Amino acid sequence: MEKKKKDIVKMLLNQDLGEKDEEEMIELLIDNPITINVDKENDAKMTFGDKVADKLSEIAGSWTFIILFCLFLLFWIILNGVILVKAVDPYPFILLNLLLSCLAALQAPVIMMSQNRQAKKDTIRNKNDYRTDLKSELILEQLYDHIEKVLINQKKILNYLKKLDPELENVKEDNLK
């Protein structure tokens, strides 16, 4: 079992360590908390532009925005196509097309900035999950080793008791598992 722990630590660190260093790393992983609050850490590093981009992405990706924007488009078309005699933007609504193009040209990069930041956050979260999984695996291996030692000691105790009391000869070691 000890070899697996060392291999896991080497995989984690991607470097060769001496046996003493490996043991210290295992103890560090097992004894200390290694998780981080990704959201809290990310929020602390956000600039004003990042916050604006996230808020705009949140608004632009909502049903409220879509419905209100559809209502605005419908209002624009009805106003300039039906109500106004001398329309500001007559059919084929070139000004409306210009506004829509400008909106799309600005909205796409803002949404991409927000998505890129979210992808970085997800990467940090995945690394955090990996470290947590590694720690759990190391702890489970350590527990398995301890259980194996307990079973070996139980067998020794049972054998010793069998020597002291012949009536225990019928007790099987399988009952200890």
pLDDT digits (tens, 9 = 90+) for 145-166: 999 999 999 999 988 888 888 7
The model's pTM? 0.56
Q: What angle do CA 168, 149, 4 make, to 5 degrees?
A: 145
Using DSSP's 3-state secondary structure scheme, residue 91 falls into coil
> Is 12 among the domain residues?
no
Res. 1 pLDDT band, cuts 50 70 90? very low
Residue 163 has a pLDDT of: 86
Domain membership of residue 95 (yes or no) is: yes
Tell me what pLDDT residue 46 has: 87
pLDDT tens column, 31-48: 666 667 777 777 888 889
Kindly tell me if the per-residue pLDDT of 93 is higher than 80.
Answer: yes
**Would residue 7 count as lying in a domain?**
no
Q: Is residue 128's pLDDT more than 90?
A: no
Q: Is residue 32 helix, strand or coil?
A: coil
13 part of a folded domain = no
Which tokens go with 46?
């956000």
Provide the domain limits for residue 61.
33-176
Residue at 37 is within a domain: yes
- Residue-averaged pLDDT of the chain: 82
56: closest CA among 105, 107, 100, 104?
Answer: 107
Q: Are 28 and 44 in contact (CB under 8 A)?
A: no
DSSP 129-157: HHHHHHHHHHHHHHHHHHHHHHHHHHHHH
- Residue 10 forms part of a structural domain: no
> What's the rounded Cα separation, in Å, for the pair 125 and 156?
47
Section 117-136 average pLDDT: 87
pLDDT at position 8 over 90: no
Contacts of 135 (CB under 8 A, 6+ apart): 29, 30, 34
2 belongs to a structural domain: no
Domain count, the chain: 1
Q: Is residue 80 domain-resident?
A: yes
**Mean pLDDT in residue range 123-143:** 85
